[in-house]
């Protein structure tokens, strides 16, 4: 029983904050055709995140399964969601530091 209590104390004293669970990757992956903002809040789209990181140098490869225009629409929907979620993450972290 003491070992259990010791482990519990070790975990609570580690000082690390519990991490938010990562979003599940969209089951459609690069073939995703969705434009509903709720979908982008619920599922992660790594390929769109990579496109956003390109910034003004955005070049959507010709071999992508969907039309480039769809990816551009999805990026415009996703950008504000990412900004909001990063602001929320920063705000939550600052509450824990005070």
Query: What is the pLDDT at residue 51?
Result: 95
Task: Tell me the average pLDDT across 36-48.
Answer: 96
For the chain, the structural domain boundaries read 21-97
pTM score, whole prediction: 0.68
CB 43 within 8 A of CB 36: no
pLDDT band at 42, cuts 50/70/90?
very high
pLDDT band at 91, cuts 50/70/90?
low
77 HSE (CA, 13 A, CB side): 17
């Amino acid at each position: 029983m003491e070992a259990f209590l010791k482990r519990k104390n070790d975990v609570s004293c580690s000082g690390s904050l519990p991490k938010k669970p990562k979003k599940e990757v969209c089951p459609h992956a690069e073939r995703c055709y969705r434009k509903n903002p709720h979908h982008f809040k619920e599922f992660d789209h790594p390929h769109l995140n990579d496109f956003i990181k390109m910034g003004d140098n955005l070049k959507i490869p010709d071999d992508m399964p969907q039309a480039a225009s769809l990816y551009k629409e999805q990026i415009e929907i996703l950008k504000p969601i990412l900004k909001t979620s990063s602001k929320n993450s920063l705000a939550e972290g600052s509450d824990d530091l005070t």
